[in-house]
Structure 1
Amino acid sequence: MKPPRVRWPWQRRWEAWWQARHPASDTTALTQRNLYILPSRPGAAFCATLLVLLLASINDQLSLGYLLTFLLGGAGLASMHATHANLRGLKLDLKTPPPAYAGQPLMLDIRLHNPGAARFGVGLRLPGGAAKDTGYADVPAQGHAQLHLQVSLPTRGRHALPRLRVESHFPFGLFTTWSYWRPAAQAWIYPAPELDAPPAAGAEEALPQGQGQPGLGDDPGLRPYRHGDSPRQILWKKSALALAQPSSPSGAAAALLVRERLGSRASEQWLDLAATRGLPFEQRLSRLAAWVQRAEEAGLPYGLRLRGVALAPDLGPDHFRACMEALTLAEAQP
């Protein structure tokens, strides 16, 4: 077991200062306290050129050289203030990211709010990302803009979002002003469903007659929608197919199909972790994720059994999310 890492007093003071200036939040406002500015590479070359011009003007006593040096220096200072003002006062907020599957990019939806004059070339990227991966947006005066950023999280779990870097080089690229943003939201990364997973144990027996292939054939488990039925019982895909048929009844409500779930448990199935014995743990979760996805798409009530977790058979987005979150947080037994 590794000994605990020693943290010096200056490290604790630094972390406290950093967290005070950049608290974890899904909204942030860029102010004088959390904006930083330094010359860029072209800006450093520009400063070196000014120094050479100044030395040459002093050595040769060139009045026009002094004029050119101080004129360019004044333009550089004006550029520095314009670059800093391009971000100062800008507000950003992050929409809670939707769940994603392991190995797939997670899309972050960020909205920029501008209470003042127009802003140009506002960039957003991960601190460790390449400059080519930076997303840029122009924000109109008293307006809004949106930026989309992709984050790759290869493993399942509930992950804290990475720190983001907001930056700008406007107008001449001589200076770079930037700030860091620590989002407070967490992202759900579900296990990736197994491709070509075999049928779940007992899945064929759970299918009512005529349900082996998706379609609109005679199915004793289906009936037309009646007033008072829960929207979660409606099979939207089958209803859309029924509406598309020329012989479908007139009226949208007449073509909505509902599965009978309460009168009989013949159509219910349990998806059990024990049915995936012999596979590595992560692959077992991927197979269960594929079964959950397949049962939800087929409109068959399904339950989930894991170690210490049992979710009763049900259908609908809430049940699907509960099952996928249970799979996401499942831990291998030592």
Structure 2
Amino acid sequence: MARRRILPAWRWRWPWQDRWDAWWQARHPRSDTTALVQRNLYILPSRPGAAFCATLLLLLLASINDQLSLGYLLTFLLAGAGLASMHATHSNLRGLKLDLKTPAPAFAGQPLLLDIRLHNAGGQRYGVGLRLPDGSYADTAFTDVPAQGHSQLHLQLSFPTRGRHELPLLRIESRFPLGLFGAWSLWRPAAIAWVYPSPEVDAPDAGASDEGLPQGQGQPGLGDDPGLRPYRHGDSPRQILWKKSAMALAQPQPPSGGINNGAAPLLVRERLGSRASEQWLDLDATRGLPFESRLSRLAAWVQRAEEAGLPYGLRLRERSLAPDLGPDHYRACMEALTLLEDRP
């Protein structure tokens, strides 16, 4: 029996496509800063501009046919105004510099905010817009950039899945002053967006390990939560429970003789000598769920433990993160969940 020959998978590429890719990447390299100059700035008539050009052509043909001197005057006057508009539109973007702040992490399916700053070393710039290439002109965010000044723009996008995602192309454009021409440039940011697993809504409790602690032994005036006490000099800022402290500040305080002379203190989670208050969040505790649902439940547990101020650790197959608290530990746990692969 003859063997079937399996051909390697390949894709046809035009001979000039490599040159085109090299040209494109040279003019638009990946960077979190970009400067709009002659080599990466383009301009074409807009839809009203195309209609304007067609009108000029009809006026010119009518003037030639009927030998109308005033027709020539009107045609060339309007053409001169169009050329001046084209020059002003191109100059409105040329020389601008833009930089992107590293985006904060977001959850899958939720908005990710891009904070972009525009720097102008020349005169006043009007109607500078920024949008995603697949968006419509109505989705463009516009701003005016003052002379010798700065301005900010914010864009929102979302990623449906967790992971480390490259940011999409951004389109910078302007149609100032008459809207007859549109000047634009494309920007490829180099920043990587961290997209965490979306926490499960109404996730069950993780089974905290501090069940043996007696209730009602907290600091006087701080409720029945054990291990809470006022902030003392020398405590780490990572121990401060900011949400609970804000809730305490919102409550009415005694005018005098109370805690801190009537002012609610910052609340701190006491680090116990034993490990009774620590809890481990284990991937094996979520068996029976789809893999992405398991990560969502772990993300909810991490978020809940961080807000409660209880030290927590994370076990993910061969990797473990020791119990701790604070933004750095929270970020390390969420990044570990983000990069975890689905395998047997």
Same fold (TM over 0.5): yes
Quick one: distance in 1 between partners of 2:43 and 2:336? Answer: 45
Moved more, 18-27 or 217-226: 217-226
249, 253, 278: which one aligns with 2:260: 249
| Aligned position for 1:185 | 191
> RMSD of aligned C-alpha atoms?
2.2
Aligned pairs (5 A) from 1:28-177? 28-177=34-183
2:222–2:229 Cα contact (<8 Å) kept: no
**Aligned twin of 1:233:** 239
In structure 2, the partner of 1:197 is: 203
Query: Partner of 2:325 in structure 1?
Result: 315
Return the alpha-carbon distance in structure 1 between the equivalents of residues 81 and 228 of structure 2.
Answer: 75
Judged with a 3 Å threshold, the aligned counterparts in structure 2 of structure 1 residues 76 and 250 are, in CA distance, closer, same or farther, namely: same
Q: Which amino acid aligns with 1:190?
A: Y
Q: Which residue of 2 aligns with 1:274?
A: 284
Where does residue 19 of structure 2 map in the other structure?
A: 13
- Write the deviation string for residues 271-290 of structure 1: whole angstroms up to 9, x where unpaired: 00000000000011000000
Q: 1:291 to 1:206 in 2, by over 3 A?
A: farther
SS in 1 for 2:276: coil
Aligned-pair identity in percent equals 81
Deviations 1:138-179 (A, max 9, x none): 111111111111112111111111000001111111111100
Q: In structure 2, the residue corresponding to 1:198 is in which secondary structure? A: coil
Contact residue 216 and residue 241 of structure 1 kept, 8 A? no
CA deviations over 1:90-147 (Å, ceiling 9, x no partner): 1111111111111111111111111111111111100111111110111111111111
The alpha-carbon distance between structure 1 residues 76 and 219, as it changes in their structure 2 partners (threshold 3 A), is: closer
Q: Secondary structure at the match of 2:303?
A: helix
Give TM-score, length-normalised by structure 1: 0.93
What residue identity is the alignment partner of 1:270?
Answer: W
Amino acid paired to 1:43: G
Q: 1:218: how far off?
A: 4.6
Of 287, 311, 324, 1:301 maps to 311
Q: How far 1:3 sits from its partner (Å)? A: 1.4
**C-alpha distance in 1, partners of 2:224/2:13?**
70
Q: Contact (CA 8 Å) 1:206, 1:267: kept in 2 or not?
A: no
Amino acid at match of 1:137: T
One of 315, 336, 339 as aligned partner of 1:326: 336
Hey, what's the Cα distance between the residues in 2 that align with 1:178 and 1:107? 22
In structure 2, what residue type is equivalent to 1:274? D
SS of equivalent residue, structure 2 residue 109:
coil
Quote the Cα distance in structure 1 between the aligned partners of 2:43 and 2:132: 18
- Give the Cα–Cα distance (whole angstroms) in 2 for the partners of residues 146 and 84 of structure 1: 21
Q: Give the letter aligned to residue 65 of structure 1.
A: G
The answer on whether the counterparts of 2:241 and 2:307 sit within 8 Å (CA) in structure 1 is no
Task: Name structure 2 gaps, 5 residues minimum.
Answer: 1-6
- Looking at structure 2, the residues matched to 186 and 331 of structure 1 have their Cα atoms a distance apart, in angstroms, of 19
Compared CA separation, residues 2 and 157, structure 1 to 2 (3 A): farther
Per the alignment, in what secondary structure is the counterpart of residue 28 of structure 1?
Answer: strand
Superposed counterparts of 1:256-271, under 5 Å: 256-261=266-271, 263-271=273-281
* Structure 1 residues 160 and 251: CA distance shift in structure 2, 3 A: farther
Aligned equivalents of 2:98 and 2:164: distance in 1?
23
> Does the Cα contact within 8 Å between 1:46 and 1:174 map onto a contact in 2?
yes
**Aligned-partner residue type, residue 29 of structure 2:** P
